[in-house]
Amino acid sequence: MEDAFESPDVYTQLKGELGPWFKAAGFKRGSGLLTWARRHGDWWTLAWCQVSQDGWDDFSGSKFTVEFARAEAAQAGANGPWRARLPRLLTAQERERVREIQNGIIAKLREPPRHHPMLTAGAAIRAAYARRFKRVAEPYTPGDDIWFRYANSADLSTWSVFILEKLPACTAQADHHG
């Protein structure tokens, strides 16, 4: 695994990989997180990436999510009539592809040493940390809150390719709400 891959690194890479598509589709950078916004009628169509507040772990990496919204302002999380994370907008087959990518990343993770702080904490914390290393056994459902795991920049690039394929349909869905 690479050295710490902190959220600014993640945002920089995602901006470089996703940004050209958003620019070509008429989006401008919005405020908050890594946000893109495009005026559509009386509302803004938004898309943003959010890195988990769990932070970086040298063994389990981290995760991020992608969200879309119709909102009254060009800002991540602004009020509006509609909001959805990317996995909710996918078909069962597309969510299965997410699970395949996710499990491929999880399979590459190195188990932490026994003295790792998360493994010497209370039982609930140990169990939650251990789950980070378990593959996703069941297919995702539309209601699952799916965060995209990564352990290095190659993982982010894999997710970027997947996300880029879905952006036209996801932003079109966002345009038609509200």
The number of CA neighbours under 13 Å toward the Cβ of 84 is 18
pTM of the model: 0.94
Q: Dihedrals φ, ψ of 56, to 5°?
A: -95, 140
CA 45/CA 20 separation, integer angstroms: 17
Report the amino acid identity of residue 11.
Y
Report the amino acid identity of residue 64.
F
Question: Closest Cα partner for 10 from 108, 166, 151?
Answer: 151
Number of Cβ within a 10 Å radius of residue 53: 7
The number of CA neighbours under 13 Å toward the Cβ of 125 is 8
What are the pLDDT digits (tens) for 57-101?
Answer: 999 999 999 999 999 999 998 999 999 999 999 999 999 999 999
pLDDT of residue 178: 62
pLDDT of residue 1: 47
* Residue 23's pLDDT band (cuts 50, 70, 90): very high
Q: What is the mean pLDDT of the chain?
A: 93
Q: Which of 90-99, 106-115, 148-157 has the lowest mean pLDDT?
A: 106-115
* Residue 32's pLDDT band (cuts 50, 70, 90): confident
49 close to 14: Cβ distance less than 8 angstroms: yes
Residue 2 has pLDDT above 60, yes or no: no
pLDDT of residue 44: 96
